[in-house]
Amino acid sequence: MDTLKQGDKAPAFTSKDQDGKTVSLSQFIGQKVVLYFYPKDDTPGCTTEACDFRDNYQGLKAKGIEVLGVSIDDEKSHQKFINKHSLPFTLLADTDKTIVEAYGVWGEKNMYGKKYMGTHRTTFIIDEAGNIAHIISKVDSKKPTEQVLDLLK
């Protein structure tokens, strides 16, 4: 699979959100989308990242930006994560890994010398026309909103 780059058409997807509703990227044509991929619900780094987006969500919405989080966790896991941390945005359940693979963020990881397959924390900023405006591959989970807004200045 080719690596996505800035200017590419964002791969289309349809998935289920935390409530089992169908969500497609095409629903967001006309607005910017922060599509962020994270490894696992309710783990320290992922919680920090999600809570930063939560705390800045109204400001992002005011700028016409929608936030969508994606992990391979299921709907029930997403629901618990959202309820526990009052997350106001949609989390997509990519249990069959079609979105993580389409975006090239599924791959080998290495933790404490152990190799395993997992989701690489990556954020894609998709423009109003559905193209990739920016890719953040070195996400700072403490301030992902700031990284997004710096690129959109």
DSSP 8-state assignment for residue 28: G
CB 86 within 8 A of CB 57: no
Measured over the CA atoms of residue 147, residue 89, residue 62 and residue 27, the dihedral's sign is positive
- Measure the CA–CA gap between 54 and 49, rounded to whole angstroms: 9
Q: With beta carbons less than 8 A apart as the criterion, state whether 90 and 18 touch.
A: yes
Q: Does residue 15 sit in helix, strand or coil?
A: strand
Residue 88 half-sphere exposure toward CB, CA atoms < 13 A: 11
Q: Spot the catalytic one: 4, 46, 93, 100.
A: 46
Tell me the helix, strand and coil percentages in the chain, rounded to 5. 30, 30, 35
Is 51 assigned a catalytic role? no
- Which residues have a catalytic role annotated? 46
